[in-house]
Amino acid sequence: MEKRGARVGVNGGNFFTTKFDSILGWARKYSMFVYPFVTACCGMEYIAAACSHFDIDRFGAGLTRFSPRQSDVLMVVGTVSHKLAPTLRKIYDQMAEPKWVVAFGTCAVSGGIYDNYSTLQGADKILPVDVYIPGCPPRPETVFEGIMKLQEKIQSQPQEWRWKKS
């Protein structure tokens, strides 16, 4: 709490002060609703990370949503072809703010071994990617490392909210 600028109340009182941005970031980073856009074998690794042995819920990202309207984090899991690119872009556009994008696995990061006519050379060609998770496929530990990096990013960025004057 001290790190994030929170102050415990005077004489050990039952309150503490903080910044609104800070507490909103704290709420947001521990309640990420993930939308997994699974197109390839990396999906197996996402399932392994999400299920009880590794348990993605420890990071507050356990509530997998299969609707872009209800999710905060778009995980691009697997190879994206040029044919699929407009669909992926549309799904990103349908998500409500605030939203983040994670490129999961080598294919989503850079196209990987598929340097050919049909494959999009990385999800960052069409989406603003926040966190890149490398690996072919990445181990669940790597996935969690990426999720923690995203949590750090969410906490440290200026928070947008509805009644905030921009």
Partner 1 sequence: MEEVIKNILERFGNREIKYKDKDMWTFYPDKEYFFDFVDYIKDYGEFDILLDITAVDYLEWTKEKKDRFEMVYHFLSLKYNIRIRVKYTLKKDEKGLTLTSYYKNANWLEREVYDMYGIVFEGHPDMRRILMYDEFKGFPLRKDYPLKKRQPRIKGLNDD
By CB under 8 A, the count of residues binding partner 1 is: 15
Among 58, 70, 86, 136, binds partner 1 (CB under 8 A): 86
Nearest distance from C-beta of residue 88 to partner 1, angstroms = 10
Our finding on whether 85 is near partner 1 (CB under 8 A) is yes
Residues 6+ apart with CB under 8 A from 93: none
Half-sphere exposure of residue 110, counting CA atoms within 13 Å on the CB side? Answer: 8
Among 83, 148, 156, 164, binds partner 1 (CB under 8 A): 83
Half-sphere exposure of residue 107, counting CA atoms within 13 Å on the CB side? Answer: 22
CA distances from 57 to 36, 54, 133 (A): 15, 9, 18
Which one, 39 or 159, has the nearer CB to partner 1? 39
Are the CB atoms for 131 and 149 separated by under 8 Å? yes
Site for partner 1 in 52-81 (CB under 8 A): none
Which one, 31 or 118, has the nearer CB to partner 1? 118
Site for partner 1 in 99-128 (CB under 8 A): 116-118, 120-121, 124-128
Q: Which residues bind partner 1 (CB under 8 A)?
A: 82-83, 85-86, 89, 116-118, 120-121, 124-128
